[in-house]
Each structure stands twice: as structure tokens, then as C-alpha cells.
Structure 1
């Protein structure tokens, strides 16, 4: 067996052991109130797990974890509680102070210049922006013309049972491809960690585009594609967005 094969095997063993640690950590955080659970995973979670399983210094991975939590809009107390859940899983009586400090410093750094309209993992406009965009349409409908009623939400939904890493990777690729697909000023937004919603004007071309999405990008990534017209009132639209952001098991 060559050196390359040995290296690949060792790397595979590290990844496997890290995943075995990641799963109970995620469950413990969920038990301690991390809702929705699908928003918990980030690449920095894997960095922490891999560092622990290889005996590497955890300071830098914890800093990265804090930065990622801040960029996602997670409060520092919630981020620290998540780190404490990790400590319980690996059997620490207390999380080392150096790691608490590293996460907190990362959280402060990650919060500086944070773009509150962009999801840090996928680069898509986030759910807050989606809600703002829809609200603006209804305000326009009240003041000038019925703009909201001329729009649809095009939903692209991944299988929520996918491994979080695979789902995140597909979301990143889907976001890139959808931004290239929609070229008439549509808003491509992350509705949840398994769904992308596109605010699009109801035009004759839209129906053809949805068919193309189903047979093309959607089929390639195992994603369902459908469209929903925006309802008559903003209250109903808010309820619709609530449903899109809710984990499927709760619907």
C-alpha cells in the first residue's frame, strides 16, 4: 500500500470518528434547546470534532465556531451553551476556560461587520431578508399597485433527512445555480436549512422556468420544486413563510 493510500485511510478514520462525535453533540444541543436543530451544523462543528479526535489544540477551532455562530446571528449565551453540550458529550466536568474565551473572542470578531442580510454558509439572502422583501411588496400593494399579488414564491426543497454536511453542500451549489438561473431581479433567499425560496413576478415565462427547474437543477440535486402565489394579506404571507421555515416533521 502506497503512502497516498495510507494517508487517505488515516484521514477517513479521522472523519469517521469526528462524525461519531458530532451526532451526540448535536442531539445534546437539541435537548438543551437548540431549535430548529437543522440550523445547528456548520463546518466549524466538524473542525472542533476533528481536533478533539486527533488530540489537536481546540483553541483555534473554538474561535472559528464562535465566529460562525456570530455570523449566523446566534447569541453568545446560546453559543456557549452549545460548547458546554460538547463538553458534556466528551466527559469534561467543565469546559476549559481557554476554550470558553476562544469561542467568546471568535463570537465578537465574527459579529463585526456581519451582513445581517446574508447567510454566511451559503451566501444567499437570509430568511430575515426574505420576510422584509415580502413585507415591502405588501406595503407597495397598499400604497400604489397590488404588487404582492403579482408575485409567487418558487420553493426548492431538499430532502431534510440528508446528512447535514451533504445538505449544506447542496444548498451552496443550488444557491449558486439559482442565482444564475433567475436573471430578472428575483430575490433568491434561504427559507430554512433545507429550502430556498425565490420571490418572482408572476409572468408567463415563470411556469416554463419552474418546469425547467424540476427537470434540470432540481432533478440533479434531488430537490422538489413548486410555486405558491402570495396570498391576499401580509398576515397570510407571514404564516406561509413560517411554514416554509419550519422543519418538515413539525408541519
Structure 2
């Protein structure tokens, strides 16, 4: 019979983070690629050593809110952290800090709404460059899935309809929690982080795009087949900005 670990016991932060992740993904977390984030490591460290985790909880809540994770899933995830130590529950002060960080991200999202591409409804490439820069600091920065649907010059009205169709296909395939953007000129990209292989969803993404552009005039305005490739995330924010510039069409 094992004895549940005490809060602030000698549990190694890395071991606690691994058990937290496994518990969350097995029960309440919707997308494995969204879970990993530097704030997770900070939160696990604070809890493992018995430090005050409120600041870490606030940062974690903000990070979850920024990628579109709901408040219920965010709270349940932290409950999995404490549950990984035994029959423990998150203290009310920790939950308040977590929710405050999440709410701050929601307030920021309202301001960031103007940073969206009006044709596709996706964020702009400047937004994606920032998110890729953040991912550079992670041990598993992930990959960019790059989609090119351009097929020559098209009428503005057709281009707008095509962009909207591709934006819907990306959100439908990867979910709103994945940072994604319209890069311009019929090129789009989505950041896939963590252990999830971006290639796994490419067939589904291709089907989602084909279904939405199957009728004229979108069919003739869309590359056939759609070009989809994956690119490693650079290791520095400066290189991330350069990558976005190279991928984008002026």
C-alpha cells in the first residue's frame, strides 16, 4: 500500500509534472498538444517544493486563457495536479489566482480582436510570430503546419470566400486552442506543440478544405492538390520572425 505524497514533500518537480500531465490527458484535457507550456513547469515546481503557488497559478491561468482553453477545463486541470499527489484539492487561494489569470487573458483577447485578418477570421501573422517566439523557450517547441491554397490571380470576392473557407477548415481540424494565422497570398499556418505529430491531422485538414472549396468559383481558385507541409519551430524569437516573413507572401 502506497502512502499519498504530502504537498511540499520530496517529490521531484519533473516527476510531478509528468504525473499531472498523464492524469489530465487521461481524464479531462481535450487536446494533448495544448497542454505543455513553461508555466506548467513553474506550477509543478512550486507545488512540489511547498512554495506559494499563487503567482504560478495566475500565470498558468493566463496561458490557458490565451490559447482558448475554457475556465472549467483550466480548473479541472489544476485539480489533476493536486490529485497526482494523493487525496488533495487545490486551495481556494490558488483557484482564485488561476481564475484571475484566465480572466486577464480574456480581457486581452478583446483588445487583440483587431489583430485578425478580415478575410479568413484568423489572427494575423504578427500574432503568430509572437506565439512562435513564446514556443521557442519550450523544450518541445513543436512545428508549423503551413498551408498554401493559392492558384494564380483571383477576383477579390473569390479570394475572400476562399480565405474564409480555409480559416474554417483550420479551426475545425485543429481547434481554436492552436495558434494559427493567415500569412497572406493564400498561405496559412498553425502552430502544433507538444508530442502530437502535425502530420497526423493533415489528411483531415485536406478533406476539410476540399469539402469547403469543392464548388465553383472556389474550386478553380484553389491549388489542387492543396500544398501542406510542416516546418520545425526555430530556437529563437528572431529566427521565428524571419520564418514568418519567409513564409508570408507580400
Matches within 5 A, 1:209-220: none
Total equivalences in the alignment: 161
Q: Which runs of 5+ in 1 are unaligned?
A: 1-15, 159-167, 186-251
Contact 2:234 2:240 in 1 (8 A): no
1:155 is the counterpart of 2:150: no
Structure 1 residues 169 and 35: alpha-carbon distance in aligned structure 2, compared to 1, 3 A threshold: farther
Q: Residues 21-54 of structure 1: CA distance to partner in whole angstroms, max 9, x if unpaired?
A: 1111000001113132222111110110121233
Higher relative contact order (CA 8 A, sep 6+): 2
Partner of 2:59: 64
Partner of 1:46: 41
1:184 is the counterpart of 2:249: yes
Name the SS for the 1:41 alignment partner: coil
- Deviation of 1:141 (Å): 7.1
Contact 1:122 1:171 in 2 (8 A): no
List 4+ stretches of structure 1 deviating above 4 A.
123-127, 129-135, 138-141, 168-175
Matches within 5 A, 1:1-251: 17-114=12-109, 115=112, 117=123, 118=127, 121-122=131-132, 127-128=170-171, 142-143=216-217, 146-149=220-223, 152-156=226-230, 170=235, 175-185=240-250
Q: Hey, what's the Cα distance between the residues in 1 that align with 2:99 and 2:218?
A: 47
Q: Hey, what's the Cα distance between the residues in 1 that align with 2:97 and 2:84?
A: 19
Structure 1 residues 144 and 45: alpha-carbon distance in aligned structure 2, compared to 1, 3 A threshold: closer
Structure 1 residues 183 and 29: alpha-carbon distance in aligned structure 2, compared to 1, 3 A threshold: closer
Structure 1 residues 54 and 140: alpha-carbon distance in aligned structure 2, compared to 1, 3 A threshold: same
Q: Hey, what's the Cα distance between the residues in 2 that align with 1:173 and 1:26?
A: 30
Q: Residues 81-114 of structure 1: CA distance to partner in whole angstroms, max 9, x if unpaired?
A: 0010001012353210111111111111111132
Q: Hey, what's the Cα distance between the residues in 1 that align with 2:214 and 2:73?
A: 37
Structure 1 residues 144 and 155: alpha-carbon distance in aligned structure 2, compared to 1, 3 A threshold: closer
Q: Hey, what's the Cα distance between the residues in 2 that align with 1:157 and 1:183?
A: 14
TM-score computed with the length of structure 1 as normaliser: 0.52
- Deviation of 1:156 (Å): 1.5
TM-score computed with the length of structure 2 as normaliser: 0.52
Structure 1 residues 146 and 52: alpha-carbon distance in aligned structure 2, compared to 1, 3 A threshold: same
Q: Hey, what's the Cα distance between the residues in 2 that align with 1:145 and 1:81?
A: 44
Structure 1 residues 155 and 170: alpha-carbon distance in aligned structure 2, compared to 1, 3 A threshold: farther
Q: Hey, what's the Cα distance between the residues in 1 that align with 2:18 and 2:239?
A: 25
